Structure 1
Amino acid sequence: MVIGLILALIAGSLVSLQNIFNTKVNEKVGSWATTTLVLGMGFLASFIMSLIVEGNRIFTLRSMEPWYWISGLIGVGVVICLVQGTKRLGPTYAISIVLISQLGFALLWDSLGWLGLEKVPFTWKQLVGVLVIVGGILVFKLGGERETQKAA
């Protein structure tokens, strides 16, 4: 479990860092070029690492549900939306909203057992947890605006 927590923390920091870099690239070349660059470099890095780690096994594709193959297309939406959201809202606010959305949809999909997930019983504690995070972000965003207005 500890390794899972550490990996999740690293992933969160990397997503945040990547989002900032992507936004800076977007300022110079635009959203679609940024998405192409990001996903192209990601493909190349993943392909090379998978050849090193897994060898020829990466070409052995096992049967799976057809809709799982669209994951890369979803990545295009992720990059475009994150870059544009960060451009309009700033990194902290945009990532905060992304996290709420991720948590909310994960709760929904877990609770309903969608997309091949094992159904996890919904509890009100889970919903309260999501709402507490939403409240924290509202305090963060609205509290900062009032301080900015006072300073002006």
Structure 2
Amino acid sequence: MLIGLLWALLAGSLVGLQNIFNNKVDERARTWTTTTLVLGLGFLASFLIGLIVEGGNLFNWQNMQPWFWFSGVIGVGVVFCTVNGIKLLGPTYAISIAMAAQLIFALLWDSLGWFGLERVPFSIKQLVGVLIVIGGIFVFKFGGLRQTRKAAAEGE
């Protein structure tokens, strides 16, 4: 379990870092250029590393549902939407909302057992956890609103 936690923490830090880099590319290029660059370089890197690590087994796709192959297409939506969300909302707010959406949909898909997942019974504890995260986003976004208005009023 500890190794799983470490992998998840590393994944979160890498996603945060990638979003910063993607945003910087998007400042100098258009969003579709950014999406193409990010996913194209990601394909190249994963293909080369996969060949080194797995060799010929990289192409062993037995017993895989063909519709799972479209996860890369979903990745296009992830990069495109994240880059535009950051552009319009700022990084912390956009990523917070994306994380909350991930939790909500993961809870839904786990509870329903969709997409080949083992069904996990829904519990109030899970719902409370998601609601706490969503509450944190509201605190983050609107918590300093009164102070901002007060500072703006004093500056007038």
| TM class, shorter-length | over 0.9
For the residues of structure 1 that align with 2:12 and 2:147, how far apart are their CA atoms?
28
Secondary structure of the structure 2 residue equivalent to 1:80 = helix
Instruction: Give the drift of 1:146.
Output: 2.8
For the residues of structure 2 that align with 1:147 and 1:31, how far apart are their CA atoms?
35
Match of 1:69 in 2: 69
Q: Which runs of structure 1 show a deviation greater than 4 angstroms over 4 or more consecutive aligned residues?
A: none
Secondary structure of the structure 2 residue equivalent to 1:110 = helix
**Per-residue deviation, residues 21-69 of structure 1 (Å, max 9, x unmatched):** 1011111111000000000010011011011100111122213112101
The number of residues matched between the two structures is 152
Q: 1:1-152, aligned counterparts within 5 Å?
A: 1-152=1-152
Instruction: Give the drift of 1:110.
Output: 0.3
For the residues of structure 1 that align with 2:7 and 2:125, how far apart are their CA atoms?
25
User: After the TM superposition, which of the residue ranges 53-62 and 101-110 deviates more from structure 2?
Assistant: 53-62
User: After the TM superposition, which of the residue ranges 62-71 and 1-10 deviates more from structure 2?
Assistant: 62-71
TM-score (norm 2): 0.94
Instruction: Give the drift of 1:114.
Output: 0.4
For the residues of structure 2 that align with 1:24 and 1:145, how far apart are their CA atoms?
28
User: What is the RMSD computed on CA atoms of the aligned residues?
Assistant: 1.0
For the residues of structure 1 that align with 2:21 and 2:151, how far apart are their CA atoms?
30
Give identity over the alignment, percent: 68
Secondary structure of the structure 2 residue equivalent to 1:64 = coil
Rg larger for = 2
- Counterpart AA for 1:114: W
